[in-house]
Amino acid sequence: MAETEALAIAGSWVAAMLRSSTPLMMVTLGETLTQRVGIVNLGVEGQMLCGACVGFAVAAATGSPVLGFAAGATAGLLLSFVHATLCLGCDANQIGSGIAVFTLGLGLSSYFGRSAIGGKVAGLAPLADNSFADALFVGPILTQLTAIAPFAILVVLIAGLWLYRTRTGLNWRITGESFQTARALGIRPLLVQAQGILVGGLLSGFAGAILSVDYTQTWANEMTKGRGFVAVGLVIVARWNPFLVLPVVLLFGLSEAATLRLQATGLTLSPYLISCLPYLVCLGCVIIVAVREGRIGGMPAELASVFGRRR
């Protein structure tokens, strides 16, 4: 009896963890791929906001969540084009350009998102209907999750296989390690970097749309609450490896699910204090990894000019 109860609780925890980490999974994967070609894009936060805003508006207007996801991803892609133009076309500083893209995305989404405030969307249907709710362990997972969570996991695995097992993936990794080598090998590094930024934009916009259409099913100004910046931190924790994005993001999702659960137990701690936890967890992970950096490694060498080298 105690065992079944434990399994049921574990099931609902896994469901909550997967639900809250799905948007973060996509934006972290996107930033990982962008950084693998030697570009840092802090604009992911703004791209995510635009993806959430446009995705929500389209899903609300058409009634189709899938169209919403597509529109959100497109919005993220279009905004990341600004970063690509500034960094690659104009030789602008990557950090400066990222903050510019963030500001633009913040302004655009709060300006054009006004009409979407208070709107309603129907998210994707759950994987299974309520008749499965009592099934052991898988019950809560199947009834609370939509197809987007397994889809996101699949995308991460495919991206990892693609990066490490294909010729074009190798070209991307070479570009991130050494611009000069890439050029000598006949790869066009600028083209690869542009692709890296745009793929990151597509995925961050998609992540925003998952957040607004599937997870919260509402739109509010600045609703991403720094998830894009958290993703930039988690990329470092995942050592620029798409496969490691999965466990890192899931652990992070677990801490978020835990905070939601803590609030639900009627704990007298202020919700504002509890909400600090995700940022502190992210910062803590970045610190641990930075202290151990010498032994773990994995940073694409071209990023050193942006992030700076140790001493």
Partner 1 sequence: MSAAGSIRIIAIVGGSAAFLIGASIFLAAIGRPPLATLSQMVLYAFGDSYSLSESLVKATPILLCALAVILPARLGLITVGGEGQLYFGALTGTAVVIALPAAPMVVLLPAMLLAGAIGGGAWSGIAGLLRARCNVNETISTLLMNYVAVLLVNYVIYGAWKDPASLGWPATMMFPPAAIVPSVFGTRAHVGLIVGIAAAVVLHISVTHTRWGIALRVLAGNRKVAAMAGFSFVKQTLLVMALGGALAGFAGICETSAIQGRLQAGISVGYGLTGFLVAWLSGQNFLRAIPIAILIGGLIAAGDALQLYSKIPSASATIMQGLLFVAALGASGLAGRGTARHG
Map residue 137 onto helix, strand or coil. Answer: coil
CB of residue 78 to partner 1, shortest distance in Å: 14
In the complex with partner 1, the residue whose CB is nearer, 35 or 143, is 35
Angle at 243 between CA 237 and CA 247, to 5 degrees: 60
CB of residue 42 to partner 1, shortest distance in Å: 7
The residues in 55-94 that bind partner 1, with binding defined as CB under 8 A, are 82, 85-86, 89-93
Question: From the list 12, 253, 282, 300, which residue makes contact with partner 1 (rule: CB under 8 A)?
Answer: 282
Question: From the list 4, 130, 180, 270, which residue makes contact with partner 1 (rule: CB under 8 A)?
Answer: 270
Distance CA 31, CA 44 (A): 7
DSSP 183-252: HHTT--HHHHHHHHHHHHHHHHHHHHHIIIIIIS-S--TTTTTTHHHHHHHHHHHTTT-HHHHHHHHHHH
The residues in 169-228 that bind partner 1, with binding defined as CB under 8 A, are 225-226
What distances in angstroms separate CA 140 from CA 135, 207, 259, one per listed residue?
8, 23, 19
CA torsion, points 244, 249, 251, 255, in degrees to nearest 10? 160
Residue 146 phi, psi (nearest 5) = -105, 180
Residues in CB range of 251: below 8 A, 6 or more apart: none
Binding mask 141-180 for partner 1 (x = CB under 8 A): ----------------------------------------
Angle at 24 between CA 40 and CA 80, to 5 degrees: 40
CB of residue 230 to partner 1, shortest distance in Å: 7
The reply to whether 44 sits near partner 1 by the rule CB under 8 A is no
Alpha helices, H only, 37-166: 44-62, 65-84, 94-112, 138-144, 148-165
In the complex with partner 1, the residue whose CB is nearer, 188 or 292, is 292
The reply to whether 108 sits near partner 1 by the rule CB under 8 A is yes
In the complex with partner 1, the residue whose CB is nearer, 25 or 86, is 86
Residues in CB range of 82: below 8 A, 6 or more apart: 43, 97, 100, 101, 104
Question: From the list 100, 142, 223, 248, which residue makes contact with partner 1 (rule: CB under 8 A)?
Answer: 100
In the complex with partner 1, the residue whose CB is nearer, 136 or 287, is 287
Distance CA 252, CA 120 (A): 28
Stretch near partner 1 under the rule CB under 8 A, chosen from 135-143, 162-170, 205-213, 290-298 = 290-298
Distance CA 279, CA 255 (A): 11
Question: From the list 39, 44, 48, 104, which residue makes contact with partner 1 (rule: CB under 8 A)?
Answer: 104
Question: From the list 9, 95, 184, 191, which residue makes contact with partner 1 (rule: CB under 8 A)?
Answer: 95
The reply to whether 307 sits near partner 1 by the rule CB under 8 A is yes
Residues in contact with partner 1 by CB under 8 A are: 42, 82, 85-86, 89-93, 95-97, 99-108, 110-111, 114, 225-226, 229-230, 232-233, 236, 270, 272-273, 275-276, 279-280, 282-283, 286-287, 290-291, 293, 307-308, 310-311
